Amino acid sequence: MRLLAGIAVCAVMATAGFASASGNDERTVEITIKNSKYSTASVDVEEGETIEFVIVNEDPISHEFIVGNDEIQLVHEEGTEAYHGSIPTEVTIPPGERVTTTIKFDEEDGINPGEPNYYACHLPGHFDYGMVGRIQFE
């Protein structure tokens, strides 16, 4: 399956340095999207940590920032929802805009630290093009 293959590739990608870390306090992580690529291949988080993501879309087309495990990613890869906005772990970033979303990385918010989690874009062809990054629990 393409999705799983993509995730497998992602899992072995070098984990790029990422944003600012400040212990257990809420911190802000900025990710830029340019030419249908996220600016970082992974985000290091601590279990229970709350992160404010600022997603900056420098592209002339929309992109998504979907956070979750394999199951969540698969649902969106096969889904037809054109726009996301009301759920913190599922957002759409229109062309040239920046969107802020705050995610708490615990099971309460639907993130299980015990399994692989990712952030990805599932607009047609975007995941296969490489728009996926890994959530690394420390």
Partner 1 sequence: MRKLTAAVLGLFFAGLVAGPALACGGLVAPNGSVNLLRTSTLAAYKDGVEHYVTSFEFTGKGGAKFGSIVPLPGIPSNVRKGGAWTLQRLAQETQPVTEELVADGAALFSSAAAPKARVILEKDIAALDVTVLEGGAEAVGRWAESNEFFLPPDSPEVLEFYAARSPIFMAVEYDVKEARERGLASGDGTPVHVSVPTSNPWVPLRILGLGKDRSEVIEADVYLLTEDQPAMLPAPGPGMTLEYSEEASKFLLSDLRSDRGMKWLPKEDMWLSYLKIDTKAGKLTNDLAIDASGAGQPSPRAAGLTDLTPAPIPGGTQWWPWAIAAGLVAVVLWSNEKFVSRRT
Would you tell me which residues interact with partner 1 (CB under 8 A)? 34-36, 59-62, 80, 82, 94-96, 123-126, 129, 131
Dist. CA 3–CA 73, nearest whole Å:
8
Q: Which is nearer to partner 1, 12 or 82 (CB)?
A: 82
Dist. CA 28–CA 46, nearest whole Å:
14
- We find the least distance from the C-beta atom of residue 27 to partner 1, in angstroms, to be 29
Dist. CA 124–CA 49, nearest whole Å:
31
Q: Which is nearer to partner 1, 95 or 114 (CB)?
A: 95
- We find the least distance from the C-beta atom of residue 43 to partner 1, in angstroms, to be 21
Q: Which is nearer to partner 1, 27 or 37 (CB)?
A: 37
Residue 67: φ, ψ to 5° = -110, 130
Torsion of CA 93, 51, 87, 10, to 10 degrees: 70
Dist. CA 72–CA 118, nearest whole Å:
9
Q: Which is nearer to partner 1, 85 or 94 (CB)?
A: 94
- We find the least distance from the C-beta atom of residue 59 to partner 1, in angstroms, to be 4
Asked whether 106 and 47 are in contact (CB, 8 A), the reply is yes
- We find the least distance from the C-beta atom of residue 64 to partner 1, in angstroms, to be 11
